[in-house]
Amino acid sequence: MDGSAALWMFLGICVVLMAGFPVAFSLAGTALIFAAVGSWLGTFDPAFLEAVPNRLYGIMTNETLIAVPLFIFMGVMLERSRVAENLLDTMASLFGSLRGGLGISVTLVGMLMAASTGIVGATVVTMGLLSLPTMMRRGYDPGVATGTICASGTLGQIIPPSIVLVLLGDVISSSYQQAQLQMQIFTPRTVSVGDLFVGALFPGLMLVGLYILYLVGLAWLRPEAVPAIPPEERSTKGRALWIQVVKVLIPPLFLILAVLGSILGGFATPTEAASVGAVGAMLLALTQGQLTPDRLREVMRNTTQVTSMVFLIFVGAAIFSLVFRGFQGDEWVRTLLTQLPGGAFGAMLAVMVLMFILGFFIDFIEITFVVVPIVAPILLAMGLDPVWLGVMIAINLQTSFLTPPFGFSLFYLRGVAPPEITTMQMYRGIIPFILIQLVALGALALWPGLATWLPMIVYGR
């Protein structure tokens, strides 16, 4: 079989997803339609669908995936606890005297919120509501202001604890085992979500540093685009400011230390650390006076909705992958990638370009569950490091939040931005940050140790 049916199925699901249909039902529905037609034509063996119950049971009993609802609960609870508002006010007072200081403040708060919540949409909307009016009032260029907020909000994609890294880690783990079995390695090594968390830490911080360097350079080249706050307009100064900085930073830093520190120190798995984070977020909301019965019910309802969506996508993706394999799509993709010039480098480059282009039209969840399970086993069988591959994919997927026309960060901010800021200004403002992410991706490709050295130190892998 030439795999043409698998190719048409992949193109069909891309069209259906771009049309806006729900991801889970699109994956399962498209796959079942192709399976029915293929069975009727004699090109698909329905026995492949008999593995669906086993796949679903595997999802239900996967302890790693317990971290998903816990991290979602943690992020939604923190969104309601006014942590971001307090951080933005304090950081603006601390860096406001500098040109570009407000942009640096937004970037640092985005980093802290990413390490505390791991949820992109909540961070972008919160910072858009709180910081965008201030930046515009101080005379910031609209493109710079919106670009900084969108890019900083997406740091939750790469800086752990990230929902993306949890989902991607589970996919990479199963792909790594599959690749080793294909290489006749019957005592396969494992890669965990914790490995991916540790591997993504330094590249995530590197990305924060590149954002700040861009804003500092912009303040030097175009000072009128990022003006400073006049001294008389800063609300807190001197010793009182530093006391406020310490007071505001302690709660989120304590939570970050509890979650990431327990993972880095080997005291807890990511799933156990997620439960620590969920409890810590509740305690933080309680100290802020934001934990009420109504708010708790609202947070639990939102957590249930998001978690249900994610696990339904797991079910749809399981059916899609089985049908894709039934049409020998995995063999077709393997042949295609292994015949590209450049060996593993050429195959990796082709996959990265494909994911970047798909990111213009479909979001990270769809790419994670449709594309990664197809290509990851093939790339890993070529000898690529699983942690490095996972971090490369995570940074690439991060750009899908920023690339028009369907960049979700742009949609989130467009929903709360004032009407005088045009969509084209937002598109223009995000371009430098997309280029920065591509530079980070290139640096990680040239120096894989950026992602692999810390897991080697922490876990000895």
**Calpha distance 15→76 (Å, rounded):** 32
Q: Over 50: is that where the pLDDT of 20 sits?
A: yes
Is the pLDDT at 2 greater than 60? The verdict is: no
Cα→Cα distances 247→83, 85, 130, 251, Å = 11, 14, 20, 8
Q: Is the pLDDT of residue 180 over 80?
A: yes
For position 3, what pLDDT does the model report?
A: 64
Q: For the segment 409-434, what is each residue's pLDDT rounded down to a tens digit?
A: 777 787 778 888 888 888 888 999 99
Q: Is the pLDDT of residue 248 over 60?
A: yes
Query: Over 70: is that where the pLDDT of 29 sits?
Result: yes
Per-residue model confidence (pLDDT) at position 361: 72
Higher-pLDDT residue of 448 and 45 is: 448
Pairwise pLDDT comparison (189 vs 158), residue with the higher score: 158
Residues in the chain: 461
pLDDT digits (tens, 9 = 90+) for 184-237: 776 777 788 888 888 998 999 999 999 999 999 998 988 888 887 776 665 556
Question: 81, exposed or middle or buried, with CB in 10 Å at 0-12, 13-18, 19+?
Answer: buried
- Cα–Cα distance for residue pair 115/127, rounded to 1 Å: 15
Tell me what the pLDDT averaged over the chain comes to: 82
- Nearest-angstrom CA–CA distance, 24 and 387: 27
CA 29 from chain center: how many Å?
Answer: 26
Question: Confidence class of residue 176 from pLDDT cuts 50, 70 and 90?
Answer: confident
% of the chain with per-residue pLDDT over 90: 9
> What are 327-386's pLDDT values in tens digits?
887 777 878 888 888 888 888 999 998 888 888 777 777 788 888 888 888 898 888 899
Q: Which residue has the higher pLDDT, 231 or 86?
A: 86
Highest mean pLDDT among 65-69, 132-136, 395-399: 395-399
How confident is residue 1, by pLDDT bands cut at 50, 70 and 90? very low
Structure confidence at residue 313 (pLDDT)? 81
102: CB partners within 8 A, 6+ apart: 92, 95, 96, 131, 134, 135, 138, 140, 226, 229
Q: Which of 298, 295, 286, 261 is nearest to 276 (CA)?
A: 261
* Residue 81 in this model has a pLDDT that exceeds 80: no
Specify the pLDDT at position 117. Answer: 62
119 within 8 A of 166, measured Cβ to Cβ: no
More confident position, 104 or 134: 104
Q: Which pLDDT value is given to residue 391?
A: 93
pLDDT band at 118 (very low <50, low <70, confident <90, very high): low
